[in-house]
């Protein structure tokens, strides 16, 4: 079965409970992030030693892309990447690295990620307005991709990151929905409230860099027309709820 980033498990009515259970087993150890923050990792002698082994990182990257391509139905080949990038690795070398990666992952290729939980948390808005919902999901996706290199997020579960990114998106695009969505997520039995709010603070810092929210744009030029635009966008998301 082809891998689906938003739904990695086989079709089942118990998918979301299974995902929340699965993500716990796939969390990194508590000491994992120390490798990125400790002074030892920045030691110049270590960096100098690794300079001559950059090919290893390139091989790992290519093997990861190759494995990802095998999980999806695509005409694109990893050898297209090798030719375009000038990397000289034969298929046997790439396959050996693939086996090393699969062994380290214990062959668990259908991992839980923030995108798996987006459809679950988006229902907390109780909206049937698909364009507005898709707009929120798109903004949340942008936030997740922008924040993915932040080492501070390693301690948070993928579901927490997903909910936090969606809350940031709601704050940007539909600020009037912010309190109700935040309270709904905090009340969710799968969510640790303290982790959620702390993760939101971290992601919000990253998300706001170079991005002006709808509320901020309206506040800077507060005219009746602009205020009405914000109200209409927020109402479009919650409109289906009030029409019932």
Which CATH number fits the domain that encloses residue 200?
1.10.472.10
Residue 143 domain-assigned? yes
**Does the pLDDT at position 221 exceed 90?**
no
Residue 195 domain-assigned? yes
The pair of three-digit structure tokens given for residue 81, joined into one six-digit string: 């990447």
Same domain, 72 and 131: no
Please classify residue 116 by burial: count the beta carbons closer than 10 Å to its beta carbon, then call 0-12 exposed, 13-18 middle and 19+ buried.
buried
Residue 148 domain-assigned? yes
Terminal Cα-to-Cα distance of the chain (whole angstroms): 38
Write down which residue in 80, 104, 128 finishes a domain: 104
Same domain, 143 and 95: no
Residue 95 domain-assigned? yes
Tens of pLDDT, residue by residue over 83-136, are 655 567 888 999 999 999 999 888 887 778 899 899 899 999 888 888 889 999
Residue 22 domain-assigned? no
- Boundaries of domain holding 87: 27-104
Tens of pLDDT, residue by residue over 178-216, are 999 999 999 999 999 999 999 999 999 888 775 555 445
Residue 9 domain-assigned? no
Same domain, 99 and 205: no
In angstroms, the CA 137 to CA 213 distance is: 15
Q: Work out the pLDDT band at 232, boundaries 50, 70, 90.
A: very low
Q: Work out the pLDDT band at 243, boundaries 50, 70, 90.
A: very low
Write down which residue in 54, 83, 104 finishes a domain: 104
Q: Are 162 and 121 in contact (CB under 8 A)?
A: yes
Cβ neighbours of residue 156 under 8 Å, at least 6 residues apart? 164, 195, 198, 199
pLDDT reported for residue 163: 96
Write down which residue in 104, 128, 163 finishes a domain: 104
Same domain, 131 and 91: no
Same domain, 99 and 119: no
Residue 15 domain-assigned? no
Closest CA to 140 of 194, 206, 238, 195: 206
Same domain, 83 and 160: no
Same domain, 77 and 146: no
Q: Work out the pLDDT band at 162, boundaries 50, 70, 90.
A: very high
Residue 177 domain-assigned? yes
In angstroms, the CA 125 to CA 134 distance is: 12
**Does the pLDDT at position 49 exceed 70?**
no
Same domain, 135 and 219: yes
Q: How many domains does the chain have?
A: 2
Same domain, 119 and 221: yes
Query: At 240, which helix (H) or strand (E)?
Result: helix 224-242
Q: Are 3 and 109 in contact (CB under 8 A)?
A: yes
Same domain, 90 and 126: no
In angstroms, the CA 122 to CA 244 distance is: 18
Same domain, 132 and 231: yes
Q: Are 121 and 185 in contact (CB under 8 A)?
A: yes
């Amino acid at each position: 079965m082809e891998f689906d980033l938003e739904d990695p498990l086989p079709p089942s009515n118990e998918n979301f409970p299974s995902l929340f259970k699965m993500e716990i087993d796939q969390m990194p150890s508590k000491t994992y992030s120390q490798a990125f923050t400790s002074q030892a990792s920045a030691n110049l002698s270590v960096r100098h030693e690794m300079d001559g082994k950059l090919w290893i990182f390139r091989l790992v990257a290519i093997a990861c892309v190759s494995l990802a391509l095998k999980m999806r139905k695509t005409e694109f080949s990893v050898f297209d990447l090798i030719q375009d990038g000038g990397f000289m690795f034969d298929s046997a070398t790439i396959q050996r690295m693939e086996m090393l990666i699969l062994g380290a992952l214990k062959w668990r290729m259908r991992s839980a990620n923030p995108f798996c939980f987006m459809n679950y948390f988006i229902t907390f808005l109780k909206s049937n307005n698909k364009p507005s919902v898709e707009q929120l999901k798109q903004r949340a996706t942008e936030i997740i991709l922008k924040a993915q290199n932040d080492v501070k997020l390693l301690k948070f579960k993928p579901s927490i990151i997903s909910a936090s990114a969606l809350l940031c998106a709601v704050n940007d695009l539909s600020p009037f929905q912010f309190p109700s969505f935040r309270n709904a997520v905090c009340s969710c039995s799968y969510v640790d409230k303290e982790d959620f709010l702390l993760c939101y603070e971290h992601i919000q810092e990253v998300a706001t860099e170079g991005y002006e929210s709808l509320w901020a744009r309206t506040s800077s030029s507060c005219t009746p027309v602009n205020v009405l635009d914000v109200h209409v966008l927020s109402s479009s998301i919650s409109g289906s709820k009030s029409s019932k």
